[in-house]
Amino acid sequence: MQTILSANLPPSRFVPRPIPARSGVGLKAQHVGDILETAADIGFFEVHAENYMGAGGLPHAQLRAIRERYPLSVHGVGMSIGGEGRIDPQHLARFKAVVDHYQPGLVSEHLAWSTHDDVFYNDLLPLPYTGATLARIVDHVGQVQEAIGRQILIENPSTYVTFAESTWSEVDFMTEIARRSGCGLLLDVNNVFVSAANHGYGARDYVAAYPLDRVQEIHLGGHAKDADDAGRPLLIDAHDREVADDVWALYRLVLARTGPLPTLIEWDNDVPAWPMLAAEAERADRLIGRNRPPVHVGLAGVALVAQ
């Protein structure tokens, strides 16, 4: 795939548009007609950069129509931020072209690796949390931010194994990445829940320790229940169903501490019809609304926000 993509996109006609503190959804081609015809009440859309690294065609025509009406977030899944090798300069150039053309409100990537030499994997693979890994990631984040001329957000992973050589907790590791590189964070609440269940720690404890002041976007998605080879319960970050009630509860806890934040509903497999996906976004919007500061009218008729 990497060899057929092009960074040649026409000059941008878009101006930067911030992401509101509302719910959004991942844009799927089969939903574009419904979205445009109904003028869907959605805060923003998010796309994977790798799906738009070609020079033109229907995907870009659809995305431009969406971008003319809605704010956009660009999420990368192939940069291999945690990979041992250098950041692929061709991939980075194509990534930059997408960001430059669509002028998204937020840009993000995963804490993972997906390359080895000239081999590209379709999975987001886990990392040991060591000092050497941390230094490499901070360097890679710096390269990406310098290339695109803006801050990126790094997303916490869902994990199924841990590494004996890890010397950092995941929370401390994410905190230090942000501190050293100046990046922001994308908190995937479902990933927190999945990893906590798989490794036997408390999801609420994770959230309590997390640097929520660095979080600029939240992800929510559905997970599947499975079992490992020993028959122990195992959760899979499947993105193929509704958000679980326990994840909604954890999300409410996060919002109570952060206040309203842009929140994406991820549904990438077994994608439902538009009304069902929109309903999940509406549920997130209701919770975001409950965490807005109360507004009162002062004696002179001026709206005052309660502190």
Q: pLDDT tens digits for 201-255?
A: 999 999 999 999 999 999 999 999 988 877 888 898 898 999 999 999 999 999 9
Is residue 178 within 8 Å of 154, Cβ to Cβ? yes
Bridge partner residues of 185 (DSSP): 154, 215
pLDDT in tens, 143-200: 999 999 999 999 999 887 777 788 999 999 999 999 999 999 999 999 999 999 999 9
Could you tell me if 235 and 194 are in contact, meaning their C-beta atoms sit under 8 angstroms apart? yes
DSSP annotation of 232: -
Give 295's pLDDT tier (boundaries 50, 70, 90).
low
> Over 70: is that where the pLDDT of 125 sits?
no
Q: Return all residues near 152 (Cβ < 8 A) that are at least 6 apart.
A: 107, 108, 109, 141, 144, 145, 183, 184
Domain residue ranges of the chain, discontinuous segments joined by +: 23-305
Q: Give pLDDT, residue 63.
A: 97
Q: Tell whether domain 23-305 is in CATH 3.20.20.150.
A: yes
Measured on CA atoms in the order 76, 193, 113, 1, is the torsion positive or negative? negative
The model's pTM? 0.89
Look at residue 228 in the predicted model and tell me its pLDDT. 80
Per-residue confidence (pLDDT) for residue 119, from 0 to 100 = 46
- Between helices 245-258 and 274-290, what is the axis angle to 10°? 40
pLDDT category, 8, cuts 50, 70, 90? low
Of the pLDDT bands very low, low, confident and very high (cuts 50, 70, 90), residue 115 is very low
